[in-house]
Copies of this chain bind each other. A is one copy, B any other.
């Protein structure tokens, strides 16, 4: 069949009538242009910490910089990269900046970028086994690798008759497992029961859960966000869950699904898996464990305890794209009963029928996810696991936790501040303590109930101002949350380029802005 070399290296050979047809895979150009993009990215990483972390552009800025229609003729990559530098980079909030401490990180790495190149290069669509066996089988393999790294119980692994799949994101993982749970009940009780199904999470469960429940048709009135309190560090109470379920059953409803969280988004709270699963199992409910952020840490033996009880759950997911260097998108989902997914998600149109599927010897991942098409994402996970190895990945996690601990210590040393919750992973939740504010206003009654409410309100306002000032400086970027009525600054460590000096600098930025805010407000409180 010969080689393509001639065609590819000489794109002008592809002539249609009088028209020369471009070659979108011109290999000579490919080499030259890849080099340009690598240079661009190297330069970007070298400079990224100089950029304002939170983009400072105004809404609508880009439409003033770029034309309103696509060009008729091709443009050189040089011009495009120049526009990226001039117009796109200033409009980025720099997630890879070492001064990015917001949300949770979404890490990239050399391995991830290389794998994305291979993925786009092969551009295979492994919706079923036959459409690219390697895409399916590599995913089977690495999901077992990763499952073993997390010490997941064998029933979650392919080698234990469960199995793992890479979904795009947590919402998709929850939708798929919710559908499996929903349809299991509806097959028994009839489709009209859909209006009676109830799902449970806490008021700290990620918003994806509520959204996923709405997607699959759960009545919004039947989505429970059970209240958590500071007394249990904002984890879901099994007692409360039991009571809610019984009350729903009394009302003629059907308990369906519990989403428990290991490492909530606001404050990395950890729901007690074992007792929650015990309650849920009494009612035949599906339990999903969402460890989107914190799951990655559980490859370290010292963090694995947070997953204790997962053996009683039906499904478990975490995002390797957060803390495990794969870049978006790589949400890893394991289920004990893949067949439950397949029953809800399978399609079998004539144009996809094939012998391998009919042999029942293969996994067709289209039946484990929402969409038909799927990217070859297992390449990313495979490259990350091999290029870094378990040992390095653990030290990567530990280093971030160590830096978070350092920050926590710095906060604790300054008596104007408090660490609001004990740190579980690499997120520090802190704020200016109300006492630092109370002390600055003479004459206000402190100690009675009104005083407490006033203090809380003032503290919340001041901490919001502090965050706003910090982020407006462009020097660092953090985000916030409100739990139990308390406004809290979130300092998440995890950028791959972060070093000790960035954490120390970030703390200085916090202190400087606090100094100026507190002094404007008339405080003379000393600090360490």
A370-B171, A389-B71 in contact; A362/B194 too (CB < 8 A)?
no
| Chain A positions 307-358 with a Cβ under 8 Å from a chain B Cβ | 319, 321, 325, 327-329, 344-345, 347-352, 356
Question: A121 near B: Cβ within 8 Å?
Answer: yes
Q: Would you call A22 and B137 a contact (CB within 8 A)?
A: no
Q: Would you call A93 and B132 a contact (CB within 8 A)?
A: yes
Q: Would you call B141 and A66 a contact (CB within 8 A)?
A: yes
Question: A383 near B: Cβ within 8 Å?
Answer: yes
Map CB proximity to B onto A83-118 as digits: 1 under 8 Å, 0 otherwise: 010011111111110110001001111111110111
Q: Would you call A7 and B69 a contact (CB within 8 A)?
A: no
Q: Would you call A390 and B71 a contact (CB within 8 A)?
A: yes
Q: Would you call A69 and B145 a contact (CB within 8 A)?
A: yes
Q: Would you call B120 and A108 a contact (CB within 8 A)?
A: yes
Question: A217 near B: Cβ within 8 Å?
Answer: yes
Stretch at the interface among A44-52, A243-251, A272-280, A515-523: A44-52
Map CB proximity to B onto A213-224 as digits: 1 under 8 Å, 0 otherwise: 011111111000
Q: Would you call A7 and B499 a contact (CB within 8 A)?
A: yes
Bound Cα distance from A46 to B63, whole angstroms: 40
How many copies of this chain does the complex contain?
Answer: 2
Could you tell me the dominant secondary structure of chain A's interface residues? helix
> How many chain A residues have a CB neighbour from B under 8 Å?
182
Stretch at the interface among A31-39, A255-263, A447-455: A31-39
Q: Would you call B50 and A1 a contact (CB within 8 A)?
A: yes
The contact sample of 7 A-B pairs, CB cut-off 8 A, is A23-B496, A24-B110, A74-B388, A93-B124, A169-B372, A170-B372, A329-B373
Question: A443 near B: Cβ within 8 Å?
Answer: no
Q: Would you call B37 and A118 a contact (CB within 8 A)?
A: yes
Give the residues in chain B near A90, CB-CB below 8 Å: 134
Closest chain B residue, CB of each to CB of A53: B1
Stretch at the interface among A203-211, A408-416, A418-426: A203-211
Q: Would you call B49 and A1 a contact (CB within 8 A)?
A: yes
Give the residues in chain B near A218, CB-CB below 8 Å: 217
Stretch at the interface among A228-236, A432-440, A475-483: A475-483
Instruction: Choose one: B75, B145, B497; the contact of A389 (CB below 8 Å).
Output: B75
A25-B108, A125-B328 in contact; A266/B350 too (CB < 8 A)?
yes
Map CB proximity to B onto A57-68 as digits: 1 under 8 Å, 0 otherwise: 101111100101
Bound Cα distance from A179 to B113, whole angstroms: 35
Give the residues in chain B near A37, CB-CB below 8 Å: 114, 117-118, 121
Closest chain B residue, CB of each to CB of A392: B22
Instruction: Choose one: B35, B80, B137, B390; the contact of A61 (CB below 8 Å).
Output: B137
Closest chain B residue, CB of each to CB of A94: B124
Give the residues in chain B near A89, CB-CB below 8 Å: 134
Bound Cα distance from A107 to B122, whole angstroms: 10
Give the residues in chain B near A142, CB-CB below 8 Å: 70
Given contacts A57-B133, A59-B133, A71-B386, 17 further A-B contacts (CB under 8 A): A3-B47, A14-B399, A30-B42, A37-B114, A41-B117, A55-B130, A62-B141, A63-B137, A75-B389, A77-B114, A93-B132, A93-B133, A95-B132, A125-B328, A208-B372, A210-B347, A351-B480
Instruction: Choose one: B25, B54, B207; the contact of A372 (CB below 8 Å).
Output: B207
Bound Cα distance from A62 to B3, whole angstroms: 27
Give the residues in chain B near A207, CB-CB below 8 Å: 347-349, 352, 372
Q: Would you call B110 and A30 a contact (CB within 8 A)?
A: yes
Bound Cα distance from A481 to B389, whole angstroms: 45
Give the residues in chain B near A93, CB-CB below 8 Å: 124, 130-133
Question: A19 near B: Cβ within 8 Å?
Answer: yes
A62-B134, A207-B372 in contact; A22/B480 too (CB < 8 A)?
no
